[in-house]
């Protein structure tokens, strides 16, 4: 009789949940240790005085990644999870009064940019066509396979992908690529914003990132019924259905190993034997604290950390029909904002503001009738011992002034509920070093190749998933990291 192998997963973020499901389907006995009292990591949730708030990620794209997990587990998704497509992904507000609806229909978007900005319709359509081409020919290979596995590198698809790379995607910045298609500052700024989806600077990040708009504007933007927390709830329920065991309020203290092979983890002073260990913890913290390997941890820090965020959760005693689910209020000076974020590591006096309002989709459910739940986020530098108490006051004042100016309403008296989340709190709650939302930034041509792999080169049985490792941060990529990891495990342990 074959002995069932045991997999231990450190952390129940979205990648940890997906990893648990995949390994359970492969036949592993899976135990997940989570230091918090709830699953989901950044993808969490809270209620306050009748207002419901998704605490972390708020944009949902590529629902096929979630569907794939249910298909793999041979479970119907409908009883667990449902979503709807959005006709408008984002509504963009500029200081000069221009308002752009970013339609998820490419023709409508091209018409919108032509009518309101004077951009040639062909420019928008060609940009999105090329964005799709980059995604189809390059990203589908690099985002679905390990870049650190020799077997992957010798697959024909890899060579085909490299062959199709154009000079501009490798050697031009994202901003330079966008500026080669569009003529107006408004359109260029709109498409530059997609660099923030992995915490990067569009004026330094490679042109390759111009594939990101394809996911949102062509494949579609969606709203999960019940808010983003429903993704966590669905995957947690599916994992339980597949026999995964969860241990909450259980902080892993050490990953034990012998002869360069993992053997166990220590939790609350107790040792649990494991055949493989999957860390959904930031790779830096994994090496520094769980493996007591300061040298490996320090090597990770050679890569620039991604940006963080400062979030205000506001219960608003009013309704704003001019706003959508996703709204962006742009700064006048985008280059300065990124210079301050990554070089000066300080805040912007006039930050770009993101406002997410799930009560737009479920009025009376996500917030009391006639009121709205505002998730208000600005980009923030990674934590480097800045004065976050002072920054909180400065951010709040700047946000209110900007929203008042653009919306023509005094916002502050309408705020009847308020909570905050800063980079220090992000690190404490989610073990994201320096509060960086996406681990390392993509502010270099080789950033994608320098991300930590989904496995350890030096320790057998140790694997990694989540935003701090390949292929990167954000819900779609975190889910893909779990697939890459499980494929590597299947190759070694079940073939």
3-state secondary structure the chain: CCCCCEEEEECCEHHHHHHHHHHHHCCCEEEEECCCCCCECCCCEEEECCEEEECCCCCECCCHHHHHHHHHCCCCCCCCCCEEECCEEEEEECCCCCEEEEECCHHHHHHHHHHHHCCCHHHHHHHHHHHHHHHHHHHHHHCCCCCCCHHHHCCHHHHHHHHHCCHHHHHCEHHHHHHHHCCCHHHHHHHHHHHHHHCCCCCCCEHHHHHHHHHHHHCCCEEECCCCHHHHHHHHHHHHHCCCEEECCCCEEEEEEECCEEEEEEECCEEEECCEEEECCCHHHHHHHHCCCHHHHHHHCCCCECCEEEEEEEEECCCCCCCCCEEEECCCCHHHHHHHHHHHCCCCCCCCEEEECHHHCCCCCCCCCCCEEEEEEEEECCCCCCCHHHHHHHHHHHHHHHHHHHHCCCCHHHEEEEEEECHHHHHHHHCCHHHCCCCECCCCCCHHHHCECCECCCCECEEECCCCECCCCCHHHHHHHHHHHHHHHHHHHCC
In a domain, 81, yes or no: no
Same domain, 239 and 286: yes
Same domain, 173 and 283: no
In a domain, 155, yes or no: yes
317-329 exposure pattern, b = at least 16 Cβ within 10 A, e = fewer: eeebeebbbbbbb
- Confidence category of residue 144, pLDDT binned at 50, 70, 90: confident
- Confidence category of residue 444, pLDDT binned at 50, 70, 90: confident
Same domain, 192 and 100: yes
In a domain, 382, yes or no: yes
pLDDT at 88 > cutoff 60: yes
In a domain, 65, yes or no: no
pLDDT at 147 > cutoff 70: no
Query: Each residue of 354-386: pLDDT tens digit?
Result: 999 999 999 999 999 999 999 999 999 999 999
Q: Of 200, 220, 240, which residue sits at a domain end?
A: 220
pLDDT at 449 > cutoff 70: no
In a domain, 128, yes or no: yes
Q: Of 220, 237, 270, which residue sits at a domain end?
A: 220
Predicted confidence at residue 148, as pLDDT, reads: 63
With pLDDT > 70 as the criterion, what percentage of the chain qualifies? 93
The stretch 480-485 carries a mean pLDDT of: 96
Same domain, 233 and 124: no
pLDDT at 156 > cutoff 60: no
How open is the CA angle 298-300-302, to the nearest 5 degrees? 80
Q: Output 357 or 300, whichever has higher pLDDT.
A: 357
Same domain, 203 and 145: yes
DSSP strand pairing (6-10 vs 276-279): parallel
The stretch 299-326 carries a mean pLDDT of: 95
Q: Which two tokens stand for residue 227?
A: 């808010």
pLDDT at 388 > cutoff 80: yes
Same domain, 295 and 214: no
Q: Domain range holding 38?
A: 6-43+229-302+444-493
Same domain, 331 and 405: yes
Same domain, 457 and 474: yes
User: Which of 305, 357, 350 shows the shortest CA–CA distance to 330?
Assistant: 350
The stretch 170-190 carries a mean pLDDT of: 94
Predicted confidence at residue 74, as pLDDT, reads: 98
Same domain, 116 and 21: no
Question: Measured between alpha carbons, how far is residue 142 from residues 62, 138, 484 in Å?
Answer: 16, 6, 11
Q: Output 154 or 63, whichever has higher pLDDT.
A: 63
- Confidence category of residue 149, pLDDT binned at 50, 70, 90: low
Q: Count the Cβ atoms, other than its own, within 10 Å of residue 204.
A: 20
Q: Which of 54-58, 404-408, 429-433 has the lowest mean pLDDT?
A: 429-433
The stretch 235-247 carries a mean pLDDT of: 98
Query: Each residue of 213-226: pLDDT tens digit?
Result: 999 999 999 999 99
In a domain, 397, yes or no: yes
- 202 and 192 in contact (C-beta within 8 Å)? yes
The stretch 85-114 carries a mean pLDDT of: 98
> What is the chain's mean pLDDT, rounded?
93
Number of domains into which the chain is organized: 3
Same domain, 107 and 215: yes
In a domain, 39, yes or no: yes
In a domain, 439, yes or no: no
pTM (2 d.p.): 0.94
Same domain, 368 and 451: no
Q: Of 385, 405, 430, which residue sits at a domain end?
A: 430
- Confidence category of residue 1, pLDDT binned at 50, 70, 90: very low
Q: Count the Cβ atoms, other than its own, within 10 Å of residue 268.
A: 11
Predicted confidence at residue 161, as pLDDT, reads: 57
- Find out whether the peptide bond into 471 is cis, omega within 30 degrees of 0: yes
Token pair 């972390």 in the structure block, residue = 56
pLDDT at 247 > cutoff 50: yes
Q: Which of 44-48, 347-351, 354-358, 439-443 has the lowest mean pLDDT?
A: 439-443
Question: Measured between alpha carbons, how far is residue 152 from residues 189, 369, 398, 414, 493 in Å?
Answer: 36, 53, 48, 55, 17
Same domain, 98 and 205: yes
DSSP strand pairing (83-85 vs 222-224): antiparallel
User: Which of 221, 218, 220 shows the shortest CA–CA distance to 130?
Assistant: 218
- 315 and 49 in contact (C-beta within 8 Å)? yes
What does residue 59 show for φ and ψ, rounded to 5 degrees? -110, 130
The CATH number covering residue 461 comes to: 3.50.50.60
* 176 bridge partner residues: none
């Amino acid at each position: 009789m074959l002995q069932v192998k045991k997999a231990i997963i450190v952390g129940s973020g979205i990648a940890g949940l997906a990893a648990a499901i995949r390994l359970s389907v492969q036949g592993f006995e899976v135990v997940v240790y989570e230091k918090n009292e709830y699953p989901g990591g950044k993808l969490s949730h809270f209620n306050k005085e009748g207002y419901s708030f998704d605490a972390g990620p708020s944009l949902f794209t590529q629902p096929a990644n979630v569907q794939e997990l249910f298909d793999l587990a041979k479970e119907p998704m409908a009883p667990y999870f449902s979503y709807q497509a959005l006709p408008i992904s984002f509504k963009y507000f500029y200081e000069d009064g221009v308002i752009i609806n970013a339609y998820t229909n490419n023709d409508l978007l091209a018409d919108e940019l032509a009518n309101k900005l004077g951009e040639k319709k062909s420019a928008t359509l060609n940009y999105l066509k090329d964005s799709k081409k980059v995604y189809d020919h390059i990203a589908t290979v690099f985002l679905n396979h390990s870049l650190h596995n020799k077997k992957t590198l010798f697959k024909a698809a890899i060579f085909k992908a490299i062959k199709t790379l154009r000079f501009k995607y490798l050697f031009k910045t994202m901003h330079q690529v966008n500026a080669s298609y569009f003529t107006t500052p408004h359109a260029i700024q709109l498409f530059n914003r997609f660099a923030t989806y992995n915490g990067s600077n569009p004026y330094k990040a490679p042109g390759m990132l111009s594939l990101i708009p394809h996911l949102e504007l062509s494949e579609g933007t969606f709203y999960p019924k019940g808010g983003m927390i429903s993704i966590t709830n669905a995957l947690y329920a599916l994992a339980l259905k597949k026999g995964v065991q969860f241990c909450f309020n259980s902080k892993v203290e050490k990953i034990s190993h012998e002869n360069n092979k993992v053997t166990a983890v220590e939790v609350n002073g107790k040792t649990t034997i494991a055949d493989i260990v999957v860390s959904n913890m930031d790779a830096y913290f994994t090496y520094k604290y769980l493996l007591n390997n300061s040298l490996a941890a320090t090597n990770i820090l050679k890569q620039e950390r991604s940006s963080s965020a400062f979030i205000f959760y506001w219960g608003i005693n009013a309704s704003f029909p001019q706003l959508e689910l996703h709204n962006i209020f742009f700064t006048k000076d985008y280059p300065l904002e990124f210079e301050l974020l990554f070089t000066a590591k300080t805040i912007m006096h006039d930050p770009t503001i993101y406002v997410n309002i799930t009560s737009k989709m479920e009025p009376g459910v996500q917030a009391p009738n006639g009121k709205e739940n505002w998730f208000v986020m600005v980009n923030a530098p990674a934590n480097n011992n800045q004065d976050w108490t002072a920054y909180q006051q400065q951010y709040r004042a700047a946000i209110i002034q900007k929203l008042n100016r653009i919306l023509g309403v005094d916002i502050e008296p309408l705020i009847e509920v308020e909570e905050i989340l800063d980079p220090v709190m992000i690190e404490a709650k989610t073990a994201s070093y320096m509060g960086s939302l996406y681990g390392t930034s993509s502010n270099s041509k080789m950033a994608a190749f320098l991300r930590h792999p989904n496995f350890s080169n030096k320790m057998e049985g140790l694997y990694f998933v989540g935003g701090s490792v390949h292929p990167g941060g954000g819900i779609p990529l975190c889910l893909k990291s779990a697939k890459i990891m499980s494929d590597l495990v299947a190759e070694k342990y079940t073939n």
